[in-house]
Amino acid sequence: MTYLAHTVHLQLAGLAFATVGWILSSITTGLVQWRVWHVANTTIITSGIAWVGIWRSCFFSDILISPSLRTMYCQEFSAQDSFLPREIFVAQGLMLVAVILGGMGKVSTVCALRNVYQGMPSGTEVMKWFITAGVLNLVAGVCILIPVAWNFYSVAHNFTISFPSSFYMPTSPLKQEVGAAIPVGIVSAVLMLLSGIFFLAYKLPAVSVLRVHPFTTEEGSKSDNCSISAKHTFPSKNRTSIGSSLDHKPYCNGISNDAFELNEYL
């Protein structure tokens, strides 16, 4: 069984990136601030600013709900509404797909890391889980990047939306700005793409197999013909007791440590 815990440092960073990216993608999907519209008529939209998301449009009004309460008025829309532009229709589907794929990628990553830290006997299972997580996160990142970039393009070119009269929204704004959902979505897409690259970059370590080979006759004969080291010189009082035992001590494939030998014999 190969110890793989020291090989997944980059993948742990990928898990952190994927977690943050998945949370941000969920926040981006629910935010209404994809587009910020500045309107001329403030009779109903009393703040003069309306927000357009991929699921609803909202604005503050003192008339529609209560004159004494400054409450946000929202109208939801779905994919069946014919007035929705293509970039919002595509964003609804792709953002949901991105959230689902991001969640599946996190599950695959957790399974891969569980196999690593619990010491699975085969590393191929770890590779399969990391490859699956990498592909899912890359696809999720692309699914986030497409609607975010498309809606950013629409805002930059001041595209209009033909809202029905029940929404109390003008057809075109005086000025249009990028909402908070766009930069949050960009950060989310970058983190998901990076995590996918980190997971796909995982490689199993090279396993070195240690084998024991018996000595051959030639190797054994070479080990017997060791050279005789030089005679050691000791003080006269100790020469008689230890001189004879160290004069012809053989040393093979190494260097003798005199200090060690003296302490051992004295």
The model's pLDDT over 32-44, given as tens digits with 9 standing for 90+, comes to 999 999 988 778 8
Q: Are 126 and 115 in contact (CB under 8 A)?
A: yes
52 assigned to some structural domain: yes
**Pairwise CA distance, residues 16 & 198, whole Å:** 11
- For the cut 60, the answer to whether the pLDDT of residue 9 exceeds it is yes
137 assigned to some structural domain: yes
51 assigned to some structural domain: yes
209 assigned to some structural domain: no
How many CA within 13 A on the CB side of residue 126? 24
**Pairwise CA distance, residues 248 & 246, whole Å:** 6
The tokens for 108 are: 């695959």
Range with lowest mean pLDDT among 31-45, 92-106, 173-187: 31-45
Q: Are 192 and 19 in contact (CB under 8 A)?
A: no
Same domain membership, residue 128 and residue 247: no
The tokens for 41 are: 């008529």
Say which residue, 160 or 191, is predicted with more confidence.
Answer: 191
Q: Tokens 């997971």, residue?
A: 199
Q: What is the CATH number of the domain that holds 83?
A: 1.20.140.150
216 assigned to some structural domain: no
- For the cut 60, the answer to whether the pLDDT of residue 254 exceeds it is no
Domain count, the chain: 2
Same domain membership, residue 134 and residue 66: yes
- For the cut 90, the answer to whether the pLDDT of residue 237 exceeds it is no
- For the cut 50, the answer to whether the pLDDT of residue 106 exceeds it is yes
Range with lowest mean pLDDT among 18-27, 95-104, 201-210, 248-257: 248-257
The backbone region for 59, taken as left when phi is positive above 0, alpha when psi lies in -120 to 50, beta otherwise, is: beta
Same domain membership, residue 142 and residue 38: yes
Same domain membership, residue 177 and residue 52: yes
213 assigned to some structural domain: no
Q: pLDDT band at 7, cuts 50/70/90?
A: confident
Domain that holds residue 246: 227-265
Q: pLDDT band at 67, cuts 50/70/90?
A: low
How many CA within 13 A on the CB side of residue 228? 7
205 assigned to some structural domain: no
Q: pLDDT band at 255, cuts 50/70/90?
A: low
What DSSP string runs through 131-193? HHHHHHHHHHHHHHHHHHHHHHHHHHTT------GGGT--SS-SEEEE-THHHHHHHHHHHHH
Q: Are 193 and 141 in contact (CB under 8 A)?
A: yes
Terminal-to-terminal C-alpha distance of the chain: 48
Q: What is the mean pLDDT of residues 226-243?
A: 45
What is residue 87's three-state secondary structure? helix
- For the cut 80, the answer to whether the pLDDT of residue 235 exceeds it is no
Domain boundary among 183, 200, 217: 200
The model's pLDDT over 130-180, given as tens digits with 9 standing for 90+, comes to 999 999 999 999 999 999 999 999 999 989 888 888 888 888 888 899 999
**Pairwise CA distance, residues 50 & 71, whole Å:** 13
131 assigned to some structural domain: yes
**Which residues, 6 or more positions from 46, have their beta carbon under 8 angstroms from its beta carbon?**
60, 61, 62, 63, 70
**Pairwise CA distance, residues 160 & 248, whole Å:** 102
Q: Are 141 and 198 in contact (CB under 8 A)?
A: no
